[in-house]
A and B are shown apart, each in its own frame.
Chain A
Amino acid sequence: MVKTIAKERVDEITKQTAEPAWLKESRLKAFESYLKIPTPCNRDENWRRTEVDALDLSTLNVVVSDSKEKSAAKEPAVVTEALSHLGKNLPYIYTTPQSVEIGNADSALLSKGVIFCSLKTALAQHADLLSKYLAPENLPTPDFAQNDKFYLMNQSLFNCGAFLYVPKNVILESPVLNVLSSGVETSIALFPRVIIIVEQGAKAEFVNICTADKTKAADASESLSLVNSSIETYVGANGNLSYLDVSDFSSNTFAVSRVYNEVRKDGSLHASTVALGGWQIKSDIQTNLKEPGSKSDIRGVVLGSGSERYSFNTIQDHISPDTTSTINFRVALKESSSSAYLGTIRVSKEAQRTDSYQSNKNLLLGSNAHADSIPKLEILADDVKCAHGATVGPADKEQIFYLMSRGLSLLEAEELIVTGFFRQVVQSCPVDGAGDWINALVADKIHS
């Protein structure tokens, strides 16, 4: 399967939207590369344990919402839930296959030149600013830009998404929210693209939520949908970005995401990604520490159930000297869910005094659950501190006995152990209230 997407789709998008010429060029260029690249299969290291074959691209309906963004009439439940933890009245963008709504746009956060809007609006109103990041000659070149069919698919077809721009020395104390809901639709393809720019000395928090209307659960595989996202973050010198991604897709969604982070001199990035559901989630996260003194702290929480499959590929790319990166990825798998984690630490010849840490822990709760963890080190500098570790195993029997001896059932004991397992990495998430929110989301999924 995986029949190709027709060129007409790209033409449709460029025709329907009043996009600048350089973007059309960029889309067509990406599409040409897309056509040349073979579809990945599970023999590829990066695609192990992902079942690409079940996806038939030619049957998918590429959603192009032509409606203009409008003020939200009523706060969606998913937003209300998130705001109850993160703070009331935060600005949000809510995108569904039918509409784009903006909420709390009058927030004081959006002053001093801060821009937070849908990507479509940004392209109409701030094309010059965006061209610095999206024009073909300015595009970043993460690993997946070279040969990743899904990334190129997004670059040619992206049709929704969000844009955050925080000017020099402006501090955003609270997060803004971008929510994508695939609703109850099946057999659709969504290509969101999120661009976050934090200029020199600025500070921002961004929460990205991908969800679906799960009240009408679709039958998996019969009517697969594709959500193929691209997220690009740029942190300027001395800038600071805290990014939180929560993915809770419906059971018929094949979710692919490509995240590219770039951090400049003495800037720092904290990114937490929480994956709680979907038919398959395949995510690549590359962080380029481009200038001296830049730091990144990436955390992952994955809770699988049923036959869900998760595949995360992280790349910590130390390009400059005196850069620091840490990765903490924790995976708990119920029933026959599975996970593959591939973590690369790359240190260029110039990147002396790099300090890099990578940890991936997997808790197997289901008797048919499976986890792979593969570290990959490519170190060319000779003065570096580099540590990595991985564990895969069931919940500790002595811990379970201890908890059960205090009256907790086996299930309750396991739940407590799993929440504790995740709490260690989410509790210190720099977005206020995010730790408790994630704990609550995790508890919900464990109980379901």
Chain B
Amino acid sequence: MAAQEPLLKIEDLWVSVEGKDILKGVNLTINPGEVHAIMGRNGSGKSTLSYTLMGHPRYSINRGSILFKGEEIGDLPPDERAKKGLALAFQYPVAIPGVSVSNFLRASVKAVRGKEIPVKEFRQELKAQMALLEVKDEFLSRYINDGFSGGEKKRLEILQMTLLKPALAVLDETDSGLDIDALKVVSSGINTLATKETAVLLITHYQRILNYVKPDFVHVFQSGQIVKTGGSELSEELEERGYDWVTQELTPSGVA
């Protein structure tokens, strides 16, 4: 057998939105079960990367490739990517009034697993995950994200990740807008999620969440590129010295 195939291999990825280049040559390799963190300032293109991975139609890939499980997914619609084992927890999940969380979760799990799950079995699985995330039962009959607090939205996102059990979960600023208690609950959800079967790509601009979730790799994102990669110690260094430190290190004159 050859060496293990990477789960995700992004090579020289260039992406634009409405004609403006946002990603400018991203390279990233994630192996099964690894936890990666991407850190960077607001506006550095982190969210563009997550949307592009999931296939948002607004983002056009101009160059490069995204290989997922060895297959190019750049042209696939989002639902096909989800079925292949890719999932995205949104930074700003939208509300869908009139559609109950329970109906949606069942439809989604059925679509991704490709088969009907017996109601009872699904209920049990759901209740177990909900307990873990300290989500109340009444959540299920509410409409998707409709009138949810910031914390509730993020819990629902992680709940979905734990039900879908993707091979790669991309978590886009899942920590933003959470108070310290909610952050602990959500982090423990992420730690349950991150197993041999599920790799995690955590996108954040605070080091805070990395006190609870230990990444194998930390990448610094700047101006549409990964400019520095290290172990979990890199995040602490960033916290101490700020993003300017990376900028200065890369451009000795200090002019980025």
Interface residues of A (CB under 8 A from B): 396-399, 401-410, 412-413, 416-417, 419-424, 427
Contacts and interface: CB of A to CB of B under 8 A. Distances in A.
Given A406-B160, A407-B108, A416 B96 contact: yes
A409 to B, nearest CB: 5
6 contacts: A398-B94, A404-B55, A404-B79, A405-B81, A419-B99, A423-B98
A405 B82 contact: yes
Contact of A407 (B97, B98, B111): B111
Given A402-B90, A402-B93, A424-B97, 18 more contacts: A397-B57, A401-B54, A405-B88, A406-B82, A406-B87, A406-B112, A406-B160, A407-B82, A407-B83, A407-B111, A407-B112, A409-B111, A416-B104, A417-B99, A419-B99, A420-B97, A420-B98, A427-B98
Ranked 10 nearest A-B pairs via Cβ: A420-B98, A407-B111, A420-B99, A407-B112, A406-B108, A404-B78, A407-B82, A423-B98, A424-B98, A404-B79
Contacts of B82: 404-407
Nearest to B105: A406
A421 B98 CA distance: 6
Contacts of B78: 401, 404-405
A408 B108 contact: yes
A407 B79 contact: yes
A416 B107 contact: yes
Contacts of B81: 405
A406 B55 CA distance: 12
Contacts, number: 79
B242 interface: no
Contacts of B164: 406-407
Interface of B: 54-57, 77-79, 81-83, 87-88, 90, 93-94, 96-99, 103-104, 107-108, 111-112, 143, 160, 164
B95 to A, nearest CB: 8
A402 B15 CA distance: 20
Contacts of A423: 98-99
B94 A405 contact: no
A424 B100 CA distance: 11
B96 A399 contact: yes
Nearest to B83: A407
A296 B154 CA distance: 40
Nearest to B88: A405
Given A408-B79, A416-B107, A420-B143, A403 B96 contact: yes
B77 A404 contact: yes
Contacts of B143: 420
B57 A401 contact: yes
Nearest to B86: A405
A10 B54 CA distance: 67
A398 B145 CA distance: 13
Nearest to B104: A416
A405 B96 contact: no
A220 to B, nearest CB: 32
A434 B94 CA distance: 29
Nearest to A411: B79
Contacts of A408: 79, 107-108, 111
B112 A402 contact: no
B111 A406 contact: yes
Contacts of A399: 94, 96
A359 to B, nearest CB: 13
Contact of B94 (A402, A407, A422, A427): A402
Nearest to A397: B57
A420 B79 contact: no
Given A402-B90, A404-B78, A422 B108 contact: no
Contacts of A409: 77, 79, 111
Contacts of A416: 96, 99, 103-104, 107
A362 to B, nearest CB: 15
Contact of A412 (B90, B97, B111, B160): B111
Given A401-B56, A404-B82, A410 B111 contact: no
A190 B111 CA distance: 46
A412 B107 contact: yes
A397 B83 CA distance: 20
Contacts of B88: 405
Contacts of B96: 399, 402-403, 416-417, 420
Interface centre among A401, A406, A409 (most CB of B within 10 A): A406
A107 B82 CA distance: 53
A412 B57 CA distance: 17
A404 B160 CA distance: 13
Nearest to B53: A405
Contacts of A405: 54-55, 78-79, 81-82, 87-88, 90
A327 to B, nearest CB: 18
Nearest to A421: B98
Contacts of A419: 98-99
A401 B81 CA distance: 12
A398 B95 CA distance: 10
B80 to A, nearest CB: 9
A411 B81 CA distance: 16
Interface centre among B82, B112, B143 (most CB of A within 10 A): B82
Nearest to B82: A407
A407 B103 CA distance: 14
B201 to A, nearest CB: 14
Contacts of B112: 406-407
Contacts of A427: 98
A86 to B, nearest CB: 22
B124 to A, nearest CB: 21
Nearest to B84: A407
Nearest to B78: A404
